[in-house]
Amino acid sequence: MEIYVVKDYKEMSKKAAKIIAEEMKRKKDLVLGLATGSTPEGTYAKLAKMCEKGKIDFSNVVTFNLDEYLGLEDEHEQSYHHFMDKHLFSKVNIKPKNTNVPAGCPKNIEKTCEKYDKKIESLGGIDLQLLGIGNNGHIGFNEPGDVFIPETHVAKLTEATLDANARLFKSKDEVPKESITMGMKSIMNAKKILLLASGSGKANAICMSLSGPITPWVPASILQLHNDLIVVIDEEAAQQILEQKKTMQRARVYKSY
From 68, 117, 127, 143, the catalytic residue: 143
Q: Dmax of the chain from CA atoms?
A: 50
Contact window for ligand PGA (CB under 6 A) among 46-54, 95-103, 106-114, 130-138 = 130-138
From 11, 100, 127, 136, the catalytic residue: 136
> Shortest CA distance to 31 belongs to which of 163, 189, 166, 172?
189
- Name the DSSP letter for residue 2: E
- Please select the residue that binds ligand PGA; options are 39, 65, 79, 100, rule is CB under 6 A: 39
Degrees (nearest 5) of the Cα angle 138, 143, 147? 115
Nearest to ligand PGA of 209, 247 (CB atom): 209
Contact window for ligand PGA (CB under 6 A) among 47-55, 132-140, 179-187, 233-241 = 132-140
- Please select the residue that binds ligand PGA; options are 13, 32, 34, 37, rule is CB under 6 A: 37
Contact window for ligand PGA (CB under 6 A) among 20-28, 37-45, 73-81, 245-253 = 37-45
Q: How far is the CB of 158 from ligand PGA (least distance, A)?
A: 11
| Close Cβ partners of 95 (under 8 Å, ≥ 6 residues apart) | 59
Number of residues that bind ligand PGA (CB under 6 A): 7
Whether 67 is a known active-site residue: answer yes
Residue 130: how many other CB atoms lie within 10 Å: 26
Identity of the amino acid at 65: N
- Name the DSSP letter for residue 18: H
Map the footprint of ligand PGA across residues 163-182, applying CB under 6 A. none
- Name the DSSP letter for residue 158: P
Whether 227 is a known active-site residue: answer no
